[in-house]
Structure 1
Amino acid sequence: MEEKPEQHASEPTGNFTVVRFCPGGMTGYGETVEGNQKLMSRMDEAGFTQNELAEAVNAYLRALGQDGTVSDRTVRNWLTGRTRWPHSRQREALETVFNCRIAELGFAPRGEQASSFSGPTEDRVLRRHFISASAGVTLTAASPIPAHGHTAQQRVGSGDVERLLSKFTALIVSDHRYGGQLTIETQASALANEALTLQTRGTASQRVRSSLYACAASFTSSAMWAAIDGRRFDEAQNYFDRAASLAAMSGDSTIQFRIWSHAGSLYRHLGRPADALAANDVARSLPIARRDPLFASLGHARHAAIHGLTGNAVAVRRVLAHAQEALDRADPKEYRPVWLNAFYDQAELENLALAAYLSLGDFEQAEAHAHRSLALLRPHMHRTRAITTARLAHAQLGQVDLEPAIATAMSIPTDVFTRHARVARMLGDFGIKLHTAAPSSSQSRAWDQYTHDFRRNNT
């Protein structure tokens, strides 16, 4: 007599365990389901545990300004088939994390077959900018990660790289919401170490090894940027030295551009414009900057911000014109890495122009660029919005428009003060300049009261 299969079998899949329902099993709600084999397979290939996938989805949701309420139980319901069609924002997040359509993850509306449902065709704002889960390397189809980890003879493949890049995408989302946090710096550095550890775990093709070095360099560059953003400049210099070496071993000019461009920003924040111009010139001379107008535009825009420190107004105007011309030529449909798609567009060009003109003391022009940048910023760019708003307050103060300047400064969410060193420093400088310009004014007293109340409520 043939035995019937058990209805509930606890079964390991990679680094996580799910309850897999056999065909004909019951969910407990009187509904017959089969486990979502496609999602199981994708998670196994990417190396996600249920908790890690929940964390990646929540990072996306928080970038939209929503609560991240996905738990490991939510993921378990997806895996068992109890939830066949997640909420719309969760579907967007899943598509982003796995870089595929929702149907390819085994989901479909009730009454539809997952294999036949292609889902909506419209671009979603965040997905368009985050779905390219890559640090500048193009990979072929992922190879599965074994369920019990690597051995000394295990072959490391592109699937291992894909797993790292999926985690990196979630980190990029968090960075653009919070920015400058030590936790982001630590997570990025840990991912870089993970990529380098894979180099020692087994055999790999030269292409995969180059990809791993590119990943490690890209992650280290993100740690470097978090340190710059948090004004931890000594740590940023150390990350730069390491990232530059890793990028050279990867042979990838895309990530080399990012690292040297970050170095230019580091030296700009340190008030060393000669070093900043030299570092940014290295980035602008790389093949990727000659081949792709979007990279060229970013290189020019950052050069303009550096020229602002030197007081060279002619150079600022000239280089900004080059940046705009290159941005206009850039094909938005061309493949580019996630870190570039995540932030560089017309809004960021306007923001860098704002920084340049603010350094020149051309406050009227700076204010115009600030308003354009704020109008164009994507909703998830919380950190950039705070920085741009602080710069706008400085531009208004420079024109002695005291009431608008204070109103602008006070419009920055107060929780940003406590978690973002750059914004806190910019607002501290704003207070100093306000007292210099109008030491006994009602506006200065209002600002003092505002900052006093803030400190009292946050001690």
Structure 2
Amino acid sequence: MTKAELAREMNAEVKILTGRLGTVSERTVHNWLTGQTRWPPAKIRLALTAVFNCTPEELGFVPMGRAHGATEEDVRRRDFIAAAGGTAAAALTSTAAAAPRRIGITDIQQLQIRFAEVITSDHRHGGRLSIENRAGQLADEALVLQEHGTATQRIRAQLYASAASFMSSAMWAAIDGRRFDAALRHHQKAASLAAMSGDSSIQFRIWSHAGSLYRHLGRPGDALAANDVARNLPIARRDPLFASLGHARHAAIHGLTGDTNAVRRSLGHAQEALDRADPTASRPLWIVAFYDQSELDSLALAAYLSAGSWEDAEARAHRSIALRRGAMQRSRAITTVRLAHAQLGQGDLEPAVATAMSVPAEVSAHPRVTGMLTAFGTKLHDLAAGSNPARTWAEYAHDTWRTTA
């Protein structure tokens, strides 16, 4: 990365951590590189860890001692107490409190606010290690309240549901970032917490994610089994929106097997359920934030693309892009690259290259998008090496990724 690019990455990570955009500049980075800054502030150290996936010491910084600044643990504790109005994390300030604190609905509400922030970060950035780590930290904080506070059975169930929600987001961030081993570990913890909560909506999310995980791993049998767990939960029988998502993800899995009849059948069930869903019903944030007609079409696109039904895939791609909500840039980019693959599958080389080149450079750095664009280039080379479209793409990819690398 250039100094400017690193500064942008750092400021984005600080915002995920604190809610406020960081103030790292090129000069700040210069001071790190030249050794003028030997030990950055705690929030900057956390952001550095998220960007580089290693400790500040491994990056060459030299600790100056506790007297020169707060530790990372202090920062996490202070930020969480401030965000929770001083209530949700009181148990974190001392494990030797005179008496357990009573945990109530206010604590649950504050955890839900933090969960909403994680969902927002995922939609904006997606797949980042910092989102995965932050979600895992918040799950641990919910469990600290569970361990050190007194609460009714209903509140305890909601604490477990909150912890499971955070872990499901950590799991999805790992899937989205192609860290599949971490995703498998997160699934085990998330599924256990969700079972203790008794909340079938969060259980649905976790097992539906598991189906997606196994689909990305190329294990359709395990994917269908995991997704069946989600589809058979009470929430999927009660709420057509959940049923629709379950059917749509089943279609995407069937695409891996090449069974187009099963794909069409599942998509028909998904569309019928979506049409029946009450748009005014109260539902968890995580599902209303992303699942709609555009997402159904996106999953249909994935299914048809895997099955080699190029024309069906292209039709679904165009409709998904037309209906996609503006904030979901990563999802739009993924759909756009899939459209390019569908066009390439039909032999439309120039339109395919134009479509792939329309993906914004800043979004193309996302692990899933990068992998899909790389696969596009490989397939284009295999089909038409030396052609004008192939040369155009090779030059574009070289210039674009060289400046963002």
Superposition TM-score, scaled by structure 2 size = 0.77
Within-5 A mapping of 1:71-110 = none
User: CA offset at residue 410 of structure 1?
Assistant: 0.6
Is the alpha carbon distance of 1:146 and 1:163 closer, same or farther for their aligned partners in structure 2, counting shifts above 3 Å?
Answer: closer
- Is 1:158 aligned with 2:105? yes
Distance 1:147 1:389 in 2: 42
- Is 1:449 aligned with 2:395? yes
- Asked whether the equivalents of residues 168 and 187 of structure 2 are also in contact (C-alpha less than 8 Å), the reply is yes
Distance 2:159 2:285 in 1: 16
User: CA offset at residue 201 of structure 1?
Assistant: 1.7
- Is 1:432 aligned with 2:378? yes
Distance 1:299 1:417 in 2: 28
Instruction: Provide Cα deviations, 1:147-194, integer angstroms capped at 9, x if missing partner.
Output: 993444210111111111111111111111111111111111111111
- Asked whether the equivalents of residues 144 and 159 of structure 1 are also in contact (C-alpha less than 8 Å), the reply is no
Write 1 or 2 for the structure with the bigger share of helix.
2
SS for the counterpart of 1:335 is coil
Name the counterpart of 2:262.
315
Instruction: Provide Cα deviations, 1:56-75, integer angstroms capped at 9, x if missing partner.
Output: 5x6xxxxxxxxx699xxxxx
- Is 1:329 aligned with 2:276? yes
Distance 2:123 2:89 in 1: 35
Distance 1:423 1:399 in 2: 21
Q: Which runs of 5+ in 1 are unaligned?
A: 1-50, 59-67, 71-142
Is the alpha carbon distance of 1:144 and 1:414 closer, same or farther for their aligned partners in structure 2, counting shifts above 3 Å?
Answer: closer
Name the counterpart of 2:351.
404
Name the counterpart of 1:128.
none
User: CA offset at residue 458 of structure 1?
Assistant: 2.8
User: CA offset at residue 216 of structure 1?
Assistant: 0.6
User: CA offset at residue 52 of structure 1?
Assistant: 9.2
Instruction: Provide Cα deviations, 1:377-404, integer angstroms capped at 9, x if missing partner.
Output: 0111111001000100100110111111
- Is 1:386 aligned with 2:370? no
Moved more, 159-168 or 231-240: 159-168
Alignment RMSD, CA only?
A: 2.1
Distance 2:165 2:118 in 1: 12
The one of 422, 433, 454 aligned to 2:368? 422
Runs of 4+ in structure 1 over 6 Å off: 51-54
Name the counterpart of 1:287.
234
- Is 1:149 aligned with 2:90? yes
Distance 1:314 1:272 in 2: 19
Distance 1:210 1:168 in 2: 16
Distance 1:215 1:441 in 2: 54
Name the counterpart of 1:340.
287
Matched residue type, 1:193: D
Is the alpha carbon distance of 1:366 and 1:436 closer, same or farther for their aligned partners in structure 2, counting shifts above 3 Å?
Answer: same
Matched residue type, 2:240: P
The one of 310, 315, 319 aligned to 1:363? 310
> How many matched pairs?
326
- Asked whether the equivalents of residues 179 and 383 of structure 1 are also in contact (C-alpha less than 8 Å), the reply is yes
Moved more, 152-161 or 176-185: 152-161
Distance 2:202 2:107 in 1: 19
Distance 1:423 1:219 in 2: 24
SS for the counterpart of 1:200 is helix
Matched residue type, 2:228: D
Name the counterpart of 2:131.
184
SS for the counterpart of 1:432 is helix
User: CA offset at residue 456 of structure 1?
Assistant: 2.5
Distance 1:374 1:161 in 2: 36
User: CA offset at residue 451 of structure 1?
Assistant: 1.3
Within-5 A mapping of 1:19-34 = none
- Asked whether the equivalents of residues 156 and 201 of structure 1 are also in contact (C-alpha less than 8 Å), the reply is no
The structure with the larger Rg is 1
